[in-house]
Amino acid sequence: MSSRMAGAALLRHLAPRLFAAEPVPGLAGRGLVPAAARVLSARMSSTAAEAAAKEAAASEQERQQHGGSAEKPTAADGQEKKGTVSYWGIQPPKLVKEDGTEWRWFCFRPWDTYRADTSIDMKKHHEPRAPPDKLAYWLVKSLVVPKQLFFQRRHASHALLLETVAAVPGMVGGMLLHLRSLRRFEHSGGWIRALLEEAENERMHLMTFLEVAQPKWWERALVLAAQGVYFNAYFVAYLASPKFAHRFVGYLEEEAVHSYTEYLKDLEAGIIENTPAPAIAIDYWRLPADARLKDVVAVVRADEAHHRDVNHFASDIHYQGMKLKDTPAPLGYH
């Protein structure tokens, strides 16, 4: 009992010296600090220094991301603008144009832009001789009648529907060649990329004409039905006969060239207002800042003429008993 009481008294006497956060006055004057206080103080100072270092590193990183400025970006309403935070550390690069202004498009990058070759022959035509060619030709011609009934001289609306259909074959052909390459452990000769480039280019045509005209509800419904039917039909056709599928697209592109030629004629005649070119078209085709709608239609028509040549060329390769993978694809053919 007496030993327990003696231990309690000793603890009460030593506790302030062992566990005090501040040095005991009597010991501090002699330069003696309790061990527990020294350890606690060292840990607290170490934690504070580490936190300060992390905060400084974060501030420096944020300053570098904003072009060396210590100010945080603010929105138009004066509130602080928050960037996208990614757990995976993905930081989209900040791109600028040649004039130093910020690149505004997410759907394509500066290295995807080009100047269209408008000197290409617009009157080229493949004369159908073989039965598959004649079938492809007349299938395309049969689509002209409903086009004239639906759209007549509303060229912008027709362009919207045309591009939703024209962007399908490249994607379907590229996808099937991609699967074939994986399945057979073989190269594609660049044709996967060439066909996907064609599909992406046609989609950019659509994004451009959306700045010119907006589809009506029945046109959206027509696109929905046409895409559902056309995708599956072209998928089966490409599996059955790639030479027929490419020939069909070649004739479809010939018809597109003709449609855009009519569009140009109405623009030149003043029937359709020659409005300023959409900003997306100026950046994508590297057009002059004062470009007009007529310039946009001209480069789109040139694109369609190039797609015409590529698909007729692909069909000719198959007719000659060769495979696409054995012939270099015309990559970057604009």
Q: Determine contact, residues 176/182, Cβ cutoff 8 Å.
A: no
- CB neighbour burial string for 276-311, b if at least 16 within 10 angstroms, e if fewer: ebbebbbbbbebeeebbbebbbbbbbbbbbbbbbbb
Give 216 or 205, the one with higher predicted confidence: 205
pLDDT of the residue at 209: 94
Q: Is 13 annotated as a binding residue?
A: no
Range scoring the smallest mean pLDDT among 220-224, 274-278, 318-322? 220-224
**Alpha-carbon span 135 to 133, nearest angstrom:** 5
**Distance (Å, whole) CA 120 – CA 242:** 26
**Structure pTM?**
0.73
What are the DSSP calls for 28-61, one per residue?
HTTT---HHHHHHHHHHHHHHHHHHHHHHHHHHH
User: Token pair for residue 194?
Assistant: 């060439």
Range from 87-91, 96-100, 148-152, 176-180 that averages highest in pLDDT: 176-180
Q: What is the band of 9 on the pLDDT scale with cuts at 50, 70, 90?
A: low
Q: Residue 24: its pLDDT value, please?
A: 44
Binding residue per annotation — 253?
Answer: yes
Pull the structure tokens for residue 147: 């086009």
pLDDT in tens, 19-54: 544 444 444 444 444 444 444 344 444 444 455 555
Residue 263, pLDDT above cutoff 50? yes
* Annotated binding-site residue? 307: yes
102 marked as part of a ligand binding site:
no
198 pLDDT more than 60: yes
pLDDT at 287 over 50: yes
User: What is the C-alpha to C-alpha distance for residues 181 and 185, in angstroms, rounded to an integer?
Assistant: 6
